[in-house]
Amino acid sequence: LFFFLAAGFIALESSCRNVRCVLVIDCGFSSVTVAPFLDGKAVQQGIVRIDVGGKVLTNQLKEWISYRDLNVMEETYRDERNTIRREYVLPDFCRVFRGYLRDPSKAGKSVPSEDSPQAINLNRERFALPEIMFHPSDIGLNQMGVVEAVVESLSRCPVNLRAALVQNISLVGGCTLFPGFRERFISELRSCLDVDWCVALADVTNPITHAWSCASAAFTGDMVDEDKLFVSRDEWNEHGEEILHKKFLNFLTFESEENDGASDEANE
């Protein structure tokens, strides 16, 4: 039985490089998750999630295209590998007087060209769509942007960890592959932080598969022991669901500064 967060693998990979603090920002399909880690364990109160991701961007692009050019609300592509799709040939009333379904094996394969009706020209959508990641309010979503989410996550972490976290940021996920996304992210994040803090992004070869690469290294034993990644049948029979919380949900928790201030006032 396996139970572990994808972001946790990245934290483990960072810990193997002797990096104690890492801030994982996963801009995925359904959401953006900001998770701070210390010594491979997540700081619970610093985890922030916003419901803006690749799915929201895809649906918004479909809506824009359907309103302006072509209705693509039902499907976004015409894939030749789709075995369910069939082509229906309409009658021309000269040689064919009754429509019929074309045999997929006899259908000719045409190469799409620039004049193909399946090609759609994008103008302002090319930069308006990635902008949603930074300002979801542009399309009426009451959500924080990715930079605001990072600032909110840092504000929930202890003060002595914040500068160390921004020095090792792992920016992963398919949404980070937009041209200029990393540069824009660093520029806006620096404007929200102290001037003496060093903001640096970890070198990620492929943001889409980075978490899987770290997981593969964990499975091969390059990072940690199997006992830290798996629950055996004997452990499950002995401890039950409690073993999951003990092994995988042992988050780090810190008292907030507000609570510390309130307790100091109460003591006085």
| Count of C-beta atoms within a 10 Å radius of residue 261 | 10
Q: How confident is residue 261, by pLDDT bands cut at 50, 70 and 90?
A: very low
CA 245-247-250 angle, 5° bins: 65
One-letter amino acid identity for 11?
A
Average pLDDT rounded to a whole number, residues 14-29? 78
Q: What is the reported pLDDT for 14?
A: 59
What's CA 262's distance to the chain center, in Å? 37
Reported as a single tens digit per residue, the pLDDT across 53-92 is: 999 999 999 999 888 877 777 765 555 555 666 777 888 8
- pLDDT of 209 higher than 60: yes
In a domain, 203, yes or no: yes
In a domain, 219, yes or no: yes
Contact 146, 27 (CB under 8 A): yes
Dist. CA 68–CA 61, nearest whole Å: 11
Q: What is the reported pLDDT for 1?
A: 37
Average pLDDT rounded to a whole number, residues 129-134? 94
In a domain, 263, yes or no: no
Helix pair angle (54-68, 125-134), 10° resolution:
150
In a domain, 260, yes or no: no
Q: What is the reported pLDDT for 101?
A: 82
Q: What is the reported pLDDT for 52?
A: 92
Contact 137, 149 (CB under 8 A): no
Average pLDDT rounded to a whole number, residues 230-246? 79
Average pLDDT rounded to a whole number, residues 135-143? 92
Q: Quickly count helices (H) and strands (E) in the chain.
A: 10, 7
Residue whose pair of structure tokens reads 């007087």 in the numeric block: 97
- pLDDT of 263 higher than 60: no
Instruction: Report the CATH number that the domain containing residue 133 is assigned in CATH.
Output: 3.30.420.40
Structural domain boundaries, residue 135: 7-55+125-224
Beta bridge partners of 230: 2
Residue whose pair of structure tokens reads 């953006």 in the numeric block: 32
Q: Indicate the burial class of 243 (C-beta count within 10 angstroms; 0-12, 13-18, 19 or more).
A: middle
| Count of C-beta atoms within a 10 Å radius of residue 189 | 21
Highest mean pLDDT among 68-72, 161-165, 232-236: 161-165
One-letter amino acid identity for 222?
D
In a domain, 42, yes or no: yes
* DSSP letter, residue 91: P
Average pLDDT rounded to a whole number, residues 218-239? 70
Q: How confident is residue 225, by pLDDT bands cut at 50, 70 and 90?
A: low
Q: What is the reported pLDDT for 262?
A: 34
Dist. CA 40–CA 142, nearest whole Å: 32
Which tokens is 25 given? 């920002």
Which tokens is 34 given? 């900001």
Of residues 109 and 156, more confidently modeled: 156
DSSP class per residue in 194-211: -TTPPP-B---S-TTTHH
- pLDDT of 217 higher than 60: yes
Question: What is the overall mean pLDDT for the chain?
Answer: 78
Q: What is the reported pLDDT for 259?
A: 41
Look at residues 81, 56, 76, 53 and name the one whose alpha carbon lies nearest to residue 66: 76
Look at residues 135, 154, 168 and name the one whose alpha carbon lies nearest to residue 34: 154
Q: What is the reported pLDDT for 213?
A: 75
Q: What is the reported pLDDT for 125?
A: 87
In a domain, 103, yes or no: no
Average pLDDT rounded to a whole number, residues 113-117? 50
Which tokens is 167 given? 């020095």
Residue whose pair of structure tokens reads 């500068």 in the numeric block: 163
Which tokens is 220 given? 């091969």
- pLDDT of 268 higher than 50: no
Which tokens is 66 given? 């359907």
Instruction: Count how many domains the chain has.
Output: 1
- pLDDT of 264 higher than 70: no
- pLDDT of 159 higher than 60: yes
Q: What is the reported pLDDT for 121?
A: 81
Q: What is the reported pLDDT for 219?
A: 63
